[in-house]
Amino acid sequence: MIKNTLIEALGIEITHLEPGKVIATMPVDERTRQPFGLLHGGASVALAETVASIGAFELVDKETEGAAGLEINANHVRAVTEGTVTAVGTILHQGKTTMVWDIKITDEQDRLICISRCTMAVIKRKK
């Protein structure tokens, strides 16, 4: 599923997956930096939504449902110029039509880089 997607292009790797929790890493390199050498805020948001999307998909009935991002916000609290960042997503709310995920992104020293909240829509799949 990840081949030829934004996930692959940004070097995102899912390292842990369980119901209600997802952990993923992403390199801070030429693919994810903005022109001034810092981790691009959009790359952090893409990592956060990836974690929430994969987590939400693991909780739906895969035969009849899917999940899609409905809303996301992010606060970028620390700059990063190199290394790897880690996103830990945990579910805050699991409803019939929406889920809310909390995602914290940290650097290799476990310092908070970005905090994000993502609302996922649970959608019915067409048969």
pLDDT value of residue 67 = 97
- pTM for the structure as a whole: 0.96
13 given a catalytic annotation: no
User: Residue 126: its pLDDT value, please?
Assistant: 82
- Rounded to whole angstroms, how far apart are CA atoms 103 and 118? 8
Q: Where are the domains of the chain?
A: 6-124
List the chain pLDDT tens, one digit each, 127 residues.
Answer: 789 999 999 999 999 999 999 999 999 999 999 999 999 999 999 999 999 999 999 999 999 999 999 999 999 999 999 999 999 999 999 999 999 999 999 999 999 999 999 999 999 998 6
113, with CB counted inside 10 A (0-12, 13-18, 19+), is buried
Nearest Cα residue to 121 out of 87, 71, 74, 73: 71
From 13, 18, 30, 49, active-site residue: 49
| CATH class name, domain 6-124 | alpha beta
Cα dist from 34 to 8, 39, 41, 125, whole Å: 18, 6, 8, 37
